[in-house]
Amino acid sequence: MSFHASATNIELEDGHILKATLLNSEGEEVDSELDLNEIIGNNNGSFEWGGENFQDSAEDIEFSRDERDDGEAIPVLRASLGNLEGENVSADINLAERITNEDGHLKFI
């Protein structure tokens, strides 16, 4: 299950630590965090799953919940990322694509 469906208090700390309160299999609330620098990189101005250290070449990092047409709010990481030409490019990535709630813990899949 995507983490945001069972999460409260979702926030981004220091531009790269995703924090949330998640429900575990027993319905208890558990605080969890995941370092996005360990799972997301910068590929020429675009976020890349399976990369690392996106923050090293990023500015204006922010977390938001964007509402889709069906009314679901999805968790999005946004930043201005440096590309190979030295320019900053606006980029975003849907964190729900690859981050789940595994029994109260944020996990990258």
Q: pLDDT band at residue 66, thresholds of 50, 70 and 90?
A: confident
Residue 94 has pLDDT above 70, yes or no: yes
- State the chain's mean pLDDT as an integer: 93
pTM above 0.85, yes or no: yes
Residue-range domain boundaries for the chain? 3-108
Asked if the 3-108 domain carries CATH number 2.30.60.10, the reply is yes
Sign (positive or negative) of CA dihedral 43, 65, 20, 94: negative
Would you state the pLDDT for residue 1?
A: 59
Residue 62 has pLDDT above 80, yes or no: yes
41-43-45-46 Cα dihedral, nearest 10 degrees: -70
Residue 76 has pLDDT above 70, yes or no: yes
Residue 68 has pLDDT above 80, yes or no: no
- Percent of the chain whose predicted confidence (pLDDT) is above 90: 83
